[in-house]
Amino acid sequence: MSTGLDHNSWEQRSMQAVLPAFSDSVTLKSRGPLVLDHGEGIYVVDVHGKRYLDANSGLWNSVAGFNHPVLIEAGCRQFRRFPSYHSFFGRMSDVTIELCERLIAISPFESGRVFLTNSGSEANDTAVKMLWLLATHQSQPQRRKILTRINAYHGVTVAAASMTAKPYNTAFGLPLSDFIHVDCPHYWRYGTPDESEEAYSQRLAERLERVILAEDPSTIAGFFAEPVLGAGGVIPPPTGYFPAIQQVLRRYNIPLIADEVICGLGRTGVLWGSKRFDLDPDIIVASKCITAGYFPMGAVIVKAAVADALDAAIDEQEEFAHGFTSAGHPVGCAIALSAIDLIMTGGLLQNIQALSGQFEAGLAAFASNPHVGEVRTAGWMGALEIVADKETGEPFPAKFRVSEKIANTALDLGLICRPLGQAIVICPPFIMTAEEMHTMFSMLTDTLERVLHPLGELTSG
């Protein structure tokens, strides 16, 4: 199908040369891709000079905007000093050690160890291999099964995709065996009319226990959970959920792994989503905010008891036969150290906390729209669930492609937001000002009016 684009345009060159990630094919073929030239604060600018307010922080990660001088200088300085190395064979850069020490110091753990990767997907795969290594070392090779939640997102590598309980993974023949998906904790969608959030959480805990018993507790290696389901549509846990779930996990000695790829380092309004939502994990997986999107980076942070057990298992094998060429890259580690400082002491986390009320109120205002079924927020991440019928929660027919229409209309107006199912997700950069936030919500209001009002008339007629 032709896009009608000029043959020599960046857009057409992209269509000919690039296999795009998670891109709606209908939109690509009808509109072409958005090709960007540079960034200015929270804005990105395309090759034609049009500016877009990026309300999604790139992909949750560009929390310091797109041209922060401190991060740019940190990278340039390290490039000049020591531009590249690995972390194999007991050899690594000094800044790699500094970053690992810093991550332990700011983590919820009193002490521990860190394994660096290039992404959250790699970090989740690494955590799975750690659990399997421990099981083998502890003479429990049958302990292979990994529990995650329906609608969770943990990445795209083979193990992480098997943990990602999304329907699209069936096209790849996934999940692999030994990956078990339990209930999605979305109270608005799955709670019963006479059920409180606490009762719903208890029901899910009881259902989890039944799954564990049916699978055999001695075969389960770990339970992975995002504090807030991010790519599932910004779904915070219902009241009492994680305390109830963890009680079951402890009963059967099943480790809890907190996937903080999105939530970690400030997104939920505190440094770690685990702290906000009462998780007490054995392992934390982090990624997106570690470098503020300025370098590929992921981390597996293990508490001291897990680190000690891994040491024993590694000693038995004489090495941890796992690693990535660019993991622990000195330039990435230098940028990460600066990004963490910006978040913690450079005003970014303070800005989130100062403007969270404005963010929550701005999203809450959309609750009066007849086609917004639910408004969800947690710190600076939020979602609007779009519905055809507010009373029943019934979505628009799939053929209307409602969230894609909203995202494309927003793009025409100069706003980048993300469609997820029939929800629209907003997760702005941590540097956003009160005035910029007002602009963002004004643009979103205009977008929804242009899309939902005609659709509402169409469905009611």
Sequence ranges of the domains in the chain = 34-67+347-460, 71-344
Strands (DSSP E) found in 27-72: 36-40, 43-46, 51-54
User: Would you state the structure tokens that stand for residue 239, as one six-digit string?
Assistant: 């009241």
Contact 342, 70 (CB under 8 A): yes
Q: Which fold has domain 34-67+347-460?
A: Aspartate Aminotransferase, domain 1 (3.90.1150)
- Rounded to whole angstroms, the Cα distance separating 407 from 85 reads 40
Task: Give Cα 348 to chain centroid, integer Å.
Answer: 19
Strands (DSSP E) found in 322-381: 372-377
DSSP string, 10-38: HHHHHHHH---SS--HHHHHHH----EEE
pTM for this prediction: 0.96
- Rounded to whole angstroms, the Cα distance separating 255 from 127 reads 11
User: Would you state the structure tokens that stand for residue 189, as one six-digit string?
Assistant: 């969608």
Burial per residue of 287-305, b for 16 or more beta-carbon CB atoms within 10 angstroms, e otherwise:
bbbbbbbbbbbbbbbbbee
Class of domain 71-344 as given by CATH: alpha beta
Contact 403, 422 (CB under 8 A): yes
- Strand pairing category for 43-46 and 51-54: antiparallel
Helix (H, G, I), strand (E, B) or coil at 176: coil
**pLDDT by residue for the chain (461 residues), tens digit each?**
345 667 799 999 999 999 999 999 999 999 999 999 999 999 999 999 999 999 999 999 999 999 999 999 999 999 999 999 999 999 999 999 999 999 999 999 999 999 999 999 999 999 999 999 999 999 999 999 999 999 999 999 999 999 999 999 999 999 999 999 999 999 999 999 999 999 999 999 999 999 999 999 999 999 999 999 999 999 999 999 999 999 999 999 999 999 999 999 999 999 999 999 999 999 999 999 999 999 999 999 999 999 999 999 999 999 999 999 999 999 999 999 999 999 999 999 999 999 999 999 999 999 999 999 999 999 999 999 999 999 999 999 999 999 999 999 999 999 999 999 999 999 999 999 999 999 999 999 999 999 998 886 666 65
Residue type, 17: A
Q: Does this chain's domain 34-67+347-460 share its CATH topology with 71-344? A: no
Enter the DSSP assignment of 217: G
- Strand pairing category for 372-377 and 415-416: unpaired
